[in-house]
Each structure stands twice: as C-alpha cells, then as structure tokens.
A and B are shown apart, each in its own frame.
Chain A
Amino acid sequence: MTTPSEQWIVGALRQATDRMALPPESRWIRGHHSTPHAPTIAVVGIIAIFIVAVGITIGALRVEPRAVPAAGGDAFVVREDAEWTLAKSSLPSDFVLLRPSWFPSEFHGSADCPSPWATLDVLNTGYVVRYQGRTLPNGRCAWLLITGTRATVNYAELTDGLIETNTVNARGTVIHIRSGTPRTNLGSPPALPQIYLWWRESGATYEVISNDAELVDLVRVIGGLEPMR
C-alpha cells in the first residue's frame, strides 16, 4: 500500500464497512439468554450471603489438615513446581504470577483427576493453574482454578450465568464474588454451581474459582497468594 490512490481505496473500504449496522449485542451470543428477574437475583443474593455466613462459621471451626505446597517433597509438590515454572516461563518476565502458599488439601488430585495443570489462557495473555480433587457425582472433576491475565474482562457484560452477589476485602483490595450455576454449551451436561472471585492487582486481573470449595477457603487461598519469583 504505497500510492495515495491505493490508500484512498482502503480508506473508502474501511469507511463503508464501519457504517454497516451491527445486530443488537443481545444477539451476538445465542443460547440460554434469559435475563434473571429481580426476585431471582434477590434469592441468589440471599443464598450467597447465607453461604458466606455458614462458610465462615464452619471454616473457623474446622481443624482438618491443610496442604502447604512447599512443605513436602512428594510427587504432587514436584508436579506443582513444574507447572508453575512452566506458566511463568511462558509469560513476559514483568507479569506477576500469584502462586498459592496454601490451599485445601482435597485438591491434591486423584487417579482420575490429576493435579495441578497449568496452561496459558486462550488469549495468551495470562495463566490458568487448575488444581483438581475428587470425582463429582456428575462424573467431572472437582477443581479450583487460580488465574491471572492482562486481558481486559468486562464482568458486567458476561453472560456466563453467574451473578455478582457480594464483595469481601482481602490483599488490600476489593474481591468481587460471583456465584451461580454457569451456562453450558448446547448438548453438554448441566454444570454444578460455582463460586468465582476476581480482583485487580499489579496491573492484571486475578481470579480464584471453584466448583467444589467453600467461599471461606477460597478467600483464604487469595490471602495466601504470593508473587512468584
């Protein structure tokens, strides 16, 4: 593209396409698009508050053993080190990966559900480390995801079926709590309810999500996240 006339052609093409009307955003993604009614939101909110209250109470009373990833030399620890190292080496050096210093012992993995796994996210701008545990009644693995991304995510626009129900304070910032049963692809088995926490820190967005953990444990995981060196 070197001559003025060629640039003019390209400009005219862009101008023409920019003026094409777009369909309403509600049609950009089809499927289960029902908007929750206000009473539904209220009920979900009440349930979430109840879960928070019960979870914090039970969590305070529980004394079951917890895993400290760096405490042992077993295969799990070796694998965890390798996966986090792999994630860090795949991303820019100035990207701050937050690695847990504590997480619930039930996510150490099992024969059918190995743990953990690390991968880059779909935009290649962040990481997802997936800890897994028991096999759930629906045949899928229980999981706890720890993620970080520099991609811009507008949570208010998401149609994943989860609803922001509350916030808590941790790490000197506001942690947003989303919960509910996520939408699934057509033909897929129904998903289980999830608790989905997100916050912004160090110029990135971080998330801790699980389909089988209690909120109090997820908040504790967040509190124990440490920048990976």
Chain B
Amino acid sequence: MTAIAVDTAIERVRWEAAYRNAFPRVYRGLCALGARPDEAEDALQDAFVKGLERRIDQPLASVDGWIYVVASRAWRGRRLRERFLTPWTLLVDREAPSVLDTSLEVLAALRRLPLRQRQIVVARYVVGLSQEETAELLGIARGTVSATTTQAIATLRRHMEVQK
C-alpha cells in the first residue's frame, strides 16, 4: 500500500470525524487516570495533531485506542510527578442523581492502583478496548492484560469494601 502523508482534505476529514467520536471516552479515561480536565484537553489536542501528521500506510487497528495511548503519553510527558492528581471530587457531577457515593469511591479506589493497572482498566472499561487491542497498543502480551485486569479489579473491590 502506497503511503500518503496525512495532509490532505479527505484525510483530515476522516481523522477529525474519528477523533470527535473518540473524544468523550478518551477524555473521561484520561481524567480517570488522574489528569486534570485542562490536561486531558491538552493531551487530546496533542493526539489529534499527531494523528494528522502520521502516515496512513498502516491503518490503525483501533482509532480510539491509538488516541488513548498517544494522549496518555502526552499527559504523562507533561507531568513531573503523579502526586498532582486532580481531586476526584472535582471530576464527577455532584448534582447528578443516584450512586454518587459509589462513583466517588470507585474513582478514589482507581487512583490507588499502580499506573499500569490503571491504564489497563481504563483502556478496557472506559475507552472500551478489547484485550487484544489493549495488548497491542500498550506493547504487552494479551495474557498480561487479562491477569492485570483481574488483579486490578480484585484490588478495587478490596479498596471499596474497606471504604464501606
């Protein structure tokens, strides 16, 4: 397949449509990882521009996954330390009805996981990637994704039981 730089109108149109479709899931995924809303926006913008610049001779297996991985790298690159995580109470709409406490608890518990576990859990259950996509995009084995997910969910459950 012949390569063409992503600098033409049609490629921009396609990319913009895909990016807009992915934005809600990836934005929320970044916030769940620990990014502030402004950081998540900056990181997504970085991913959008990188997408325009990439060559399309190798089509993406998962646009959402690619944006998630590139944006999370951009966010991490801007961070000096992880302790500057946003308070999770600022992320969830406190006016929304029902299960407020559970929402806060699960986000708080997520923040207590190691970064790698957080990345995988968010990729699987917030961004919506399959085990195969997660493994390919993060450069790890599928079995590692499966084992890490199980371990992370079990840890989340323990954290939430302690909080009750």
The reply to whether the CB of B136 lies closer than 8 angstroms to some CB of chain A is: no
Q: Which of B20-44 contact A (CB under 8 A)?
A: 20, 23-24, 27-29, 31-32, 37, 41, 44
* Interface presence of A121 (CB below 8 A): yes
Stretch binding the partner chain, chosen from B7-15, B75-83, B137-145 = B7-15
Q: Are A118 and B1 in contact (CB under 8 A)?
A: yes
Write the A139-178 contact mask toward B (1 if CB under 8 angstroms, else 0): 0000101010101111001111010000000000000000
A5, A90, A183: the one within 8 Å of B1 (CB): A90
| Most chain A CB atoms below 10 A, which of B17, B18, B156, B160 | B17
Inter-chain CA distance A111–B23, complex, in Å, is 41
A residues in contact with B110, CB < 8 Å = 13
Give every chain B residue within 8 A of A13 (Cβ-Cβ).
32, 106-107, 110, 121, 125-126, 156
Point out the residues of chain B lying under 8 angstroms from A159, CB to CB: 16
A9 near B156: Cβ-Cβ < 8 Å: yes
The reply to whether B126 and A151 form a contact with Cβ atoms under 8 Å apart is no
Band of interface residues on A:
35 or more
A159 (CB) vs chain B CBs: closest residue: B16
Determine if B68 is an interface residue (Cβ-Cβ < 8 Å). no
Determine if B13 and A160 form an interchain contact, defined as CB atoms under 8 angstroms apart.
Answer: yes
Asked if B63 and A123 make an inter-chain contact with CB atoms under 8 angstroms apart, the answer reads yes
**Chain B nearest CB, measured from A165 CB (Å):** 15
Which single member of A14, A126, A157 contacts B125 (CB below 8 Å)? A14
B157 adjacent to A9 (CB under 8 Å)? yes
Bitwise, B125-164 to A at CB < 8 A (1) or not (0) is 1100000000000000000000001000110110010000
Which of A1, A12, A152 counts the most chain B CB atoms within 10 A? A12
Is A17 a contact of B29 with CB atoms below 8 Å? Answer: yes
| Contact of A86 with B41 in the complex, beta carbons under 8 Å | no
Residues of B84-143 contacting chain A, CB below 8 A = 91-93, 96, 99, 102-107, 110, 121, 125-126
Complex contact B53–A29 (CB within 8 A): no
Question: Of all chain A residues, which has the CB nearest B107?
Answer: A16
Contact of A153 among B6, B13, B29 (CB under 8 A): B13
A49 at interface, CB cutoff 8 A: no
A10 with B27: CB separation less than 8 A:
no
- Contact between B27 and A22 (Cβ–Cβ < 8 Å)? yes
Q: B41 touching A9 by the CB < 8 A rule?
A: no
Pairwise interchain contact A23-B48, C-beta atoms closer than 8 A = no
Nearest Cβ on chain A to B98's Cβ, whole angstroms: 9
Asked if residues A30 and B9 are in contact (CB atoms below 8 Å), the reply is: no
Given the contacts A6-B153, A13-B126, A120-B56, A160 and B63 also touching, CB distance less than 8 Å: no
Flag if B7 contacts A188 (CB, 8 Å): yes
Taken together as a complex, chains A and B put the C-alpha atoms of A159 and B44 apart, in Å, by 17
A152 touches B17 (CB 8 A): yes
Q: Does A83 have its Cβ within 8 Å of any Cβ on chain B?
A: yes
**What are 14 contact pairs spanning A and B, CB under 8 A?**
A9-B153, A9-B156, A13-B32, A14-B126, A16-B92, A18-B28, A122-B18, A123-B14, A124-B60, A128-B10, A153-B14, A157-B20, A160-B16, A194-B9
Q: With A122-B11, A128-B11, A158-B17 given, can you name 15 additional A-B contacts, CB distance below 8 Å?
A: A6-B154, A10-B125, A13-B126, A17-B28, A21-B93, A90-B1, A119-B57, A120-B1, A121-B10, A143-B8, A145-B8, A184-B7, A185-B52, A188-B7, A209-B9
